[in-house]
Amino acid sequence: MPNTSAENNFILVVDDTITNLEIISESLTDEGFEVATAMDGQKALQQIQTRLPDLILLDVMMPVMDGFVTCKHLKNHPETKDIPVIFMTAVADTNSKVQALSLGAVDYITKPFHKAEVLARISTHLQLRNLTKNLEKRVIERTDELNQALQDLKESQLQLVQQEKMSVLGQLMSGLAHEINNPVSCLYGNLGHTLTYLQNMSHLIDLYQQHYPNPVPEIQNEINEIDLEYLRSDLPNLIFSMKEGIQRIRDISKSLRIFSRADTENKIQFNIHEGLDSTILILKHRLKSVGSRANIEIKKDYGNLPLINCFPGQLNQVFMNILANAIDALDESFNSNYADDTQALITHIPQIIIQTMLSEDKSQAVIKIRDNGLGMSQENKARIFDSLFTTKPVGKGTGLGLSISQQIIVQKHGGKLEVNSELGKGAEFIINIPVK
């Protein structure tokens, strides 16, 4: 009965004697092997181009190309170097055996053949070959698993560091906003009283001038010296300017509190537009002109969004990452690519356009953030969300911002984060977040 262990094993027999080929082929076929034959080394090499055998039985003494030369060719090519070669020889001298083994053969068989011996040697070397293949495969798989585990560990560590940094930054912002808020509120409230007192004093001066129109020379000189009318007209303007400045500080303090909101275990209702506005305010200093780049224009096209069920602190982190990247892209575009093109600098105003809307079925809040920088190549676009991938110079980017942003949107909120970009046409990031 055929040997089931031989099934699917393909053996090439190379011998210039037809009788030997017939005997060996018949014996191997009876055992269930697939068999092909060749009568010299050159034909054997040609036949291998069509299908690689699992084992080769190779005669030593052959015309055109003998077994030693054929074996050398086999071992010099990556595709065939691992195929087990068993030499068949009528020469039993030690030198021939040593030469055969030194060329990479795994064994040799001395003619005349003993069927049981041939089958036993073939079976042994096929088993060894299969074990080697399986071992190599397992080593490669295990190595890949370990490399992936190491990569995942590195990414997790970096993400933990990044998240901890954002947490500390959030606490710092929250504390700073609280400390700023108390004295600013005091100043803001007292400025209102100051303006009232000023108006009262100004009314009193009007009464004095009405009832005592001719002051003594000393008072008149002092009035002229301090330019009383100018003081009375300008002092309210100063108070209003201070009030606007303090209101600006209050807005910044409020933005810091909104941006640094600590997330609870459960999602809460949040105004997306407040998160965007607070992030823009925090980044406002980066919108000012730098080098050849003019001030960056922020264009907001806010739709009618309801409160969104989300983790506000994490969502603000996403807005920060995308907007900061857009500013970096505009810096690079204008300072590197348009620096020598005056006309381009005049006509090409750096812009970031933010749109919000509901999806057609009203189930998703859609936030689009688009810049008019140089965009990105398709290769970079395909890797933009890969952890540790960055096109920024060393020390400027970690390659974690967009990777973490995608995790926050997809895994934490069940949403979607996509990018549309072409070279020369800017980049647009599209965020979809379920409303409920």
CATH no. for residue 9?
A: 3.40.50.2300
Q: Is residue 85 located within the same domain as residue 207?
A: no
Could you tell me the pTM of the whole model? 0.51
Helix (H) or strand (E) holding 357: strand 351-358
Q: Is residue 308 located within the same domain as residue 255?
A: no
Q: Is residue 220 located within the same domain as residue 245?
A: yes
CATH no. for residue 376?
A: 3.30.565.10
Q: What is the pLDDT of residue 396?
A: 59
- Does the structure show a pLDDT above 70 at 180? yes
Q: What is the pLDDT of residue 402?
A: 82
Provide the residue count of the chain: 436
Distance of CA 146 to the CA centre of its chain: 21
More confident residue, 369 or 148: 369
Q: What is the pLDDT of residue 433?
A: 93
- Does the structure show a pLDDT above 80 at 148? yes
Q: Is residue 426 located within the same domain as residue 296?
A: yes
In a domain, 129, yes or no: no
In a domain, 281, yes or no: yes
Nearest-5° Cα angle at 246, 244 to 250: 110
Q: Is residue 291 located within the same domain as residue 243?
A: no
In a domain, 38, yes or no: yes
Measure the CA–CA gap between 349 and 343, rounded to whole angstroms: 11
In this structure, what DSSP letter does residue 409 have? I
Q: Is residue 313 located within the same domain as residue 291?
A: yes
Q: Is residue 344 located within the same domain as residue 205?
A: no
Q: Which of 393, 405, 319 is nearest to 356 (CA)?
A: 319
Q: Which domain-ending residue is among 236, 260, 284?
A: 260
pLDDT band at 406 (very low <50, low <70, confident <90, very high): confident
In a domain, 401, yes or no: yes
Query: 47-51, 199-203, 244-248, 272-276: which has the minimum mean pLDDT?
Result: 244-248
Q: Which domain-ending residue is among 216, 235, 260?
A: 260
Q: Is residue 226 located within the same domain as residue 282?
A: no
Q: What is the pLDDT of residue 2?
A: 42
In a domain, 139, yes or no: no
Using DSSP bridges, classify how beta strands 85-89 and 297-301 pair: parallel, antiparallel or unpaired.
Answer: unpaired
In a domain, 128, yes or no: no
Measure the CA–CA gap between 235 and 238, rounded to whole angstroms: 5
Q: Is residue 387 located within the same domain as residue 423?
A: yes
Per-residue pLDDT tens over the stretch 246-284: 877 777 777 666 666 655 667 888 899 988 998 888 888
Q: Is residue 230 located within the same domain as residue 317?
A: no
Per-residue pLDDT tens over the stretch 61-116: 888 888 889 899 898 888 888 889 988 887 666 777 778 788 888 888 877 777 88
Measure the CA–CA gap between 270 and 268, rounded to whole angstroms: 6
- Which residue type occupies 325? N
pLDDT band at 306 (very low <50, low <70, confident <90, very high): very high
Q: Is residue 255 located within the same domain as residue 282?
A: no
Using DSSP bridges, classify how beta strands 364-371 and 351-358 pair: parallel, antiparallel or unpaired.
Answer: antiparallel
- Does the structure show a pLDDT above 90 at 431? yes
Per-residue pLDDT tens over the stretch 321-342: 899 889 988 888 776 655 555 5
User: What range does the domain containing 43 cover?
Assistant: 4-113
In a domain, 238, yes or no: yes
In a domain, 147, yes or no: no
Percent of the chain with pLDDT over 70: 83
Q: Which domain-ending residue is among 94, 113, 132?
A: 113
Q: Is residue 344 located within the same domain as residue 322?
A: yes
* C-beta of residue 373 within 8 angstroms of C-beta of residue 408: no
Q: Which of 113, 144, 103 is nearest to 19 (CA)?
A: 113
Number of structural domains the chain divides into: 3
